[in-house]
Amino acid sequence: MRILIAEDHVLLRAGLERLLGDAGHEVLPSVADAEGLLRRCADDRPDLAVVDVRMPPTFTDEGIRAAVLLRSTHPPLPVLVLSQYVEERYAAELIADDSSGLGYLLKDRVAEVGDFLAAVETVGSGGTVLDPEVVSQIMIRSRRSRDLDALTPREREALELMAEGRSNGSIAERMHVTAGAVEKLVSAIFSKLGLPAEDSGHRRVLAVLTHLGVDARR
């Protein structure tokens, strides 16, 4: 893939460039701020943008705001957000717009090179990779949703695992139940959230978005 890195930390940026280059990707000239990110994406049309949340000039949320803008102006550009923390508002907005080709990983929790490179491949090919802590914090923010009050603790647990992008088989393994039990939990979640059968191809995403407090059916 042709990958653009937006990261102001020189050593981290150099490390990412080397890592991705060694993995066989074409790393475009990197940028250190949101303005450069937007300009280079418009000029070079990368296959994937790896974006830090905090960048100059204020080092608050410039990067992720630029990512939100990119997702709306350059669809279907895959974006992998790397951050030291969870920016809940914009993370939820990113997911709400379209969860395909999207990743949000916390830097301190990316412990294995193989896992990071796998995430790059997944996001670049249109998949979704969300750090469990990202999912957890956004969920905490949206606990007041009335529809979700009907879910049992086990159904909430299954939905959180769904939000991490896990398959039914993986959810069964994590919850120590059978695949059949997971199918019943998922079916109950869809029913309680009012997701009709005709939406079967998208109900997992819709269920996750509902859990994040986003109206994905507007």
- The pTM of the full predicted model, rounded to 2 decimals, is 0.66
pLDDT-derived band at 164 (thresholds 50, 70, 90) equals: confident
In Å, what is the CA distance from 13 to each residue of 27, 119, 174? 11, 17, 34
In Å, what is the CA distance from 40 to each residue of 28, 99, 133, 200? 9, 23, 30, 38
pLDDT-derived band at 218 (thresholds 50, 70, 90) equals: very low
Distance CA 202, CA 66 (A): 27
Distance CA 76, CA 71 (A): 7
Tens of pLDDT, residue by residue over 97-122, are 677 899 999 988 777 899 999 999 99
Distance CA 207, CA 203 (A): 6
Pair of tokens at residue 204: 């997992």
